[in-house]
Amino acid sequence: MDDNDNFALVTGASSGIGLAISRELARRGHHILMVSNEEEKLARLAGEIQTEYKIKAVPFFMDLALADSAQKVFDYCAENRIKIEILVNNAGMFFFKDIADTPPSRIETMINLQVLTPALLCRLFTEQMIRENIKGYILNMSSIAAWMMMPGITLYNSTKSFLYCFSRSMSRETIEHGVSITTICPGAVATGLYNLSPRYIALGVRLGIIMPPQRLAVLVLNKMFKRKKEYIPGGFINRLFIFIVKSIPEWMIRMFRKKIRGIQSSR
């Protein structure tokens, strides 16, 4: 690569929010390193984006749930002279299941994907940005679930809570070096993450309770480039939702849990 070219690295770039952010960055003229575990789809999308927006879009196939994946991504950039100015930690997964019923291997996968890998990517690329005097940007995708201490999503909300606390704390270490970290906490987004039917997703978008990923991408990148520390898309409504969820009494949570179990057992 040309040593004068700076890139944006986007994880989970082959679908959903990651793909929308990749497209929006390309539309704004940024070269992109797109990382995902969907090899063929990733290569096709990178080619389409490069052709459409006349920028460099490099696909890099990597399973980010592997413990050494962050180092491999960093090494690939070094070997190919890809200088990262923007890091977007977006890759994630979701499932609804009690911890006691979740295989240990699946717990390890989610923790690696949503805790270990983004933390190590932040560490590796921040150190490089500081050393090379790059006034870089990091965008970490947390969730309003970080405040939802609810059964069934224990692992998801706790990993998102880690990412929220990690990002906010680390931002106070990096800002004096000119590297900003923006923490994003979206609510429901119209992607396949939650396995909702297209009909329900379309209804949620029409009602304004689910945000299209293209709209989210524009909003979060605007905040990132303004070096905002934290952003909750949806503003007052999602902040109110967080307050309401935190105020739900235990008896109501137990009742909700029983109803969910009844629905699951009847399938």
Q: Which domains does the chain have, with CATH numbers?
A: 6-266 (3.40.50.720)
- Asked whether the beta carbons of 81 and 52 are under 8 A apart, the reply is no
pTM above 0.85, yes or no: yes
Residue 50, number of CB atoms within 10 A of its CB: 18
> Tens-of-pLDDT digits for all 267 residues of the chain?
666 689 999 999 999 999 999 999 999 999 999 999 999 999 999 999 999 999 999 999 999 999 999 999 999 999 999 999 999 999 999 998 999 999 999 999 999 999 999 999 999 999 999 999 999 999 999 999 998 888 889 999 999 999 999 999 999 999 999 999 999 999 878 776 666 666 666 656 565 667 889 999 999 999 999 999 999 987 666 666 666 666 666 766 666 666 656 544 554
Told to judge if 194 belongs to the known catalytic residues of this protein, a careful annotator would answer no
Pairwise CA distance, residues 30 & 32, whole Å: 6
Q: Which listed residue (137, 156, 164, 231) is catalytic? A: 156
Pairwise CA distance, residues 14 & 174, whole Å: 29
Residue 157, number of CB atoms within 10 A of its CB: 19
